[in-house]
Amino acid sequence: LSPGAKMGCFTFIKVMMILFNLAIFLSGATLLGVGIWVTVDDQSFLEIFGALSSSVLQVVYVSYFLIAIGAILLVIGFLGCYGAQKDSKCLLMMFFSVVLIIFIAEIAAAVVALVYTGLAETLLTAVVTPLLKEKYGTDTSFTHIWNVTMTEVHCCGLNNYTDFTNSTWYNHHRTYPDPCSLVVRGLLPLAHPHLRGCLLQGCFNQLLEEIKTNAGVVGGVAVGIAALEIAAMAVSMYLYCKLDQK
């Protein structure tokens, strides 16, 4: 290619890099804003979106998740956009490094999720079960999120109904939460869980089954994200290397 064609190719890729990372930056700002909104006014968020969702996001603090993802996207978008616009090798290398770290972390998380599902359940149990025992029935938002989850996913607790045994809710009401009384054959008070033996499974297993059922969609999204990350790293490294030749 002639020097003019090479420069035109460099300029085109640079502009695409700026626009792509500008979109990432704006997406991060949006998620960060929604996360702050959920933190400040979580009831409004749950009233709008709570009943529509039956995903694992309902068993964690949605606001913290959104704020974390939004902040990461803001950093990535800024590094990529500003680094490409200013022809900064330092910022481009930082962009490459951050995306590479995230890419490696995603692969590690996928391996752990596939191979060590039991470990994931153990870790979640260690974190979530104490929260269920302490906050369910006392924290309005936490209680509402779990009620929506258990109703929509048809589950009870993280592992099973015993997560509520000796909890603040059980000690006060001497019974299990209403969503836990729904069983396969109808309504059955969980004060006598041995009767007819048709108890709902815990939410972890139910959510895991949902993920397995939609494995194709989840896998497709994961592959798409991975492809974008690889492309972003390749473009940033191309610009980094070409800056020496300008």
Contact 160, 197 (CB under 8 A): no
List the chain domain ranges. 1-86, 98-245
Of all helices (H) and strands (E), which one includes residue 187? strand 186-187
pTM of the model: 0.61
Mean pLDDT (10-residue bins), the chain, 246 residues: 67 86 88 79 60 45 76 90 87 91 84 70 78 86 80 81 87 83 48 46 76 71 83 88 73
Six-digit token pair at 27? 């997406």
Cα gap 167→170, rounded to integer Å: 5
Q: Residue type for 150, please?
A: M
Which residues does 161 contact at the CB level (< 8 Å), separation at least 6?
176, 180, 190, 193, 199, 200
Q: Looking at residue 139, what is its pLDDT?
A: 83
Side-chain-facing half-sphere of 221: CA atoms under 13 Å: 7
According to the model, what pLDDT value does residue 97 have? Answer: 92
| 49, two tokens | 């979106």
Q: Bin 156: left if φ > 0, else alpha if -120 < ψ < 50, else beta.
A: beta
